[in-house]
Amino acid sequence: MASKTEKLLSLLDGQPVIPVLKIDRVADAVPLARALARGGLRVIEITLRTADALECIRRAAGEVEEAIVGAGTILDARQFDEAAAAGSKFIVSPGVTRELLAAAGGSEVPLLPGAITPGEIMTAREAGLDFLKFFPAEQAGGAAFLKSLASPFGGMKFCPTGGVSAGNARDYLGLPNVICVGGSWVAPDDLVKAGKWDAIEALAREAATLRKG
């Protein structure tokens, strides 16, 4: 698991914001991925929250060479395998289960599982994971709660997602135990539906400047 964490971190390559995308129309997948990549956000997460999510992953991964496409909202081993087969370079889940850990253990595709409680974090740590999704971040206590985890879990790093926005992203990125944040604000539904790719590119370019430090 540790080597896969390193693989995931290398894919991120210092990107501060991971776009979390819910794509309703397959036709939007490729231009959306291209717009985000042009803005500096090459790594994207397409969530399995729509009927055509796997096809969106397949098209974005297959047609946008500059994009690094991952799959989110993975709940079980079947979805893990389907997302990996569709071309996902990484898998994100809202929580951590033994089934998902087993699926990840048999795959070259790295897993970023969600955890918010000390028990969940310890379960992931026992499995050899030290990079986790902190979800839902704002609802679970926000940056203050995540900061309180830095001391007892000194070796653990997080990607907070859920309620993270342009307004509070820096609060999270300033924490010593945060690698990046996940957010949907860089691709608002209204801009996607209107096909305003230039506007999305501009939002991505702005988000890409939210470096740690």
CA angle 162, 165, 169 (to 5 degrees): 95
Write out the catalytic residue numbers. 45, 133
pLDDT at 174: 96
Answer yes or no: are the C-beta atoms of 33 and 64 closer than 8 Å.
yes
Distance CA 19, CA 64 (A): 15
**Residue range 45-95, pLDDT digits in tens:** 999 999 999 999 999 999 999 999 999 999 999 999 999 999 999 999 999
Helix (H) or strand (E) holding 145: helix 142-148
| % of the chain beyond a pLDDT of 90 | 96
- pLDDT band of residue 5 (cuts 50, 70, 90) is confident
Domain ranges within the chain, ordered by starting residue: 2-205
> Is the pLDDT reported for residue 21 higher than 80?
yes
**Residue range 143-163, pLDDT digits in tens:** 999 999 999 999 999 999 999
Mean pLDDT rounded to a whole number for the chain: 96
**Residue range 158-210, pLDDT digits in tens:** 999 999 999 999 999 999 999 999 999 999 999 999 999 999 999 999 999 99
Answer yes or no: are the C-beta atoms of 55 and 28 closer than 8 Å.
no
Give the predicted TM-score (pTM) of the model. 0.96
Residue (of 6, 17, 2, 54) closest to 182 by Cα position: 17
- pLDDT band of residue 212 (cuts 50, 70, 90) is low
| Chosen CATH of 2-205 out of 3.20.20.70, 3.40.50.11890, 3.90.700.10, 1.10.260.40 | 3.20.20.70
pLDDT at 211: 75
- pLDDT band of residue 4 (cuts 50, 70, 90) is confident
DSSP assignment of 30-96: HHHHHHHHHTT--EEEEES-STTHHHHHHHHHHH-TT-EEEEE---SHHHHHHHHHTT-SSEEESS-
pLDDT at 213: 47
Give the residue carrying structure tokens 């803005």: 39
By residue count, the chain amounts to: 213
Contacts of 74 (CB under 8 A, 6+ apart): 48, 80, 83, 91, 92, 93, 100
Query: What are the structure tokens assigned to 39, written together?
Result: 């803005």
